[in-house]
């Protein structure tokens, strides 16, 4: 059944992306014409609320077998207070500040959807406190999966670095990932949608290809617990509370996040109880 859903997902994404890719040049031309007419008004608004980054992601899985790989990525860093409609399926600035306990701006690092498809292994919110220094980064919020996550991040500037380690309740310290990226000058990018064209698709190909490699290395395929255990959500919540890994956030069913410590000097957060999570249901055809 999972194979059938996977094939449906691939076919749906393929045809949707094919049609939207054919329309992409016309949409880019239309955006260029519209932006040319509004040069004066856009100049008055100040700095672009979206910064673009290009770099490399490296993954290492130590257990149950060793497996590592790297791939090229492109990310957007969005000032979500100044551009709240760019990525609507995420936390608002007020929600992020309430979770992180901060008072300043919030920036979202993420891979935007491209031609109707979204595949984003990690989205990271940089939460600042108000102050004279632009380096006053206090907390990060990561949208991700179950586990005890330790996040280290620098203040995004010309260079960006995120390092993640995961402590699994059974496998121990089994996973490490890093993102290193450099800021791309806006003068070098003709169109933002063209810049991210098929980026989520490439990430998905890497994920499924290396999942196949792990299967070839005799790593067991684990079915989603909802297929065999209707009470999997309640059991996972109890297990998380025992591990002091997460706390229910009460932010609704469409948000899924963990809070990890950050700082300009890569200071990690030792407060393991200051974590949040809630459930997000998969979209068709996985639902």
Residue 70 has pLDDT above 60, yes or no: yes
Can you tell me whether residue 194 is helix, strand or coil? helix
List CB contacts of 212: < 8 A, sequence separation 6 or more. Answer: none
Q: How far apart are CA 115 and CA 216, in angstroms?
A: 32
Q: State residue 182's pLDDT score.
A: 97
Over residues 52-69, the mean pLDDT reads: 91
Hey, which of 43-57, 157-171, 222-236, 252-266 has the most confident mean pLDDT?
157-171
Confidence of residue 197 (pLDDT cuts 50, 70, 90): very high
126: pLDDT confidence band, cut at 50, 70 and 90? Answer: very high
pLDDT tens-digit profile of 135-190?
688 888 886 755 677 888 899 999 999 999 888 777 788 889 999 999 998 878 87
Give residue for tokens 């957007």.
Answer: 76
CA distance 176 to 181: 17
Strand partners, 183: 53
Residues 6+ apart with CB under 8 A from 268: 150, 151, 152, 260, 261
Mean pLDDT of the chain: 77
Residue 152 DSSP label: E
| Mean pLDDT for the stretch of residues 104-129 | 90
- DSSP-H helix ranges across 68-219: 93-100, 192-195, 199-216
Which has more confidence, 44 or 59? 59
What's the pLDDT score for residue 54? 96
pLDDT band at residue 266, thresholds of 50, 70 and 90?
very low
Could you tell me where the DSSP H helices lie in 38-87?
A: 39-43
Q: Are 78 and 86 in contact (CB under 8 A)?
A: yes
Is the distance from CB of 50 to CB of 77 less than 8 angstroms?
yes
Assign 109 a pLDDT band (cuts: 50, 70, 90): very high
Q: Is the pLDDT of residue 274 over 60?
A: no
Prediction pTM value = 0.77
pLDDT grade for 6, boundaries at 50, 70 and 90: confident
Give the whole-angstrom CA distance, residue 73 versus residue 54. 6
* The pLDDT value given to residue 211: 86
User: What's residue 273's pLDDT?
Assistant: 47
């Amino acid at each position: 059944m999972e194979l059938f859903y996977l094939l449906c997902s691939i076919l749906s994404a393929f045809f949707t992306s094919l049609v939207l890719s054919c329309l992409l040049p016309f949409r880019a031309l239309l955006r260029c014409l519209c932006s040319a007419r509004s040069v004066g008004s856009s100049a008055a608004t100040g700095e672009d609320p979206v910064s673009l980054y290009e770099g490399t992601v490296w993954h290492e899985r130590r257990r149950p077998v060793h497996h590592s790989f790297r791939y090229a990525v492109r990310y957007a860093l969005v000032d979500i207070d100044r551009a709240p409609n760019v990525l609507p399926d995420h936390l608002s600035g007020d929600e992020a500040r309430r979770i992180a306990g901060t008072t300043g701006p919030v920036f979202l690092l993420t891979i935007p959807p491209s031609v109707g498809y979204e595949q984003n292994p990690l989205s990271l919110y940089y939460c600042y406190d108000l102050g004279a220094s632009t380096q006053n980064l206090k907390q990060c919020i990561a949208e991700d999966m179950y586990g005890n996550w330790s996040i280290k991040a620098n203040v995004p500037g010309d260079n960006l670095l995120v390092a993640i380690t995961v402590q699994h309740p059974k496998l121990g310290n089994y996973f490490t990932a890093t993102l290193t990226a450099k800021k791309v000058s806006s003068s070098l990018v003709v169109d933002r949608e063209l810049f991210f064209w098929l980026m989520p698709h490439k990430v998905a190909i890497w994920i499924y290809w290396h999942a196949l490699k792990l299967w070839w290395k005799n790593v067991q395929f684990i079915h989603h617990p909802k297929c065999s255990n209707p009470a999997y959500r309640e059991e996972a919540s109890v297990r998380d509370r025992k591990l002091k890994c997460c706390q229910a956030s009460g932010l609704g069913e469409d948000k899924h996040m963990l809070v990890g410590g950050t700082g300009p000097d890569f200071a990690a957060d030792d407060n393991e109880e200051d974590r949040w999570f809630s459930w997000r249901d998969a979209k068709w055809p996985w639902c």
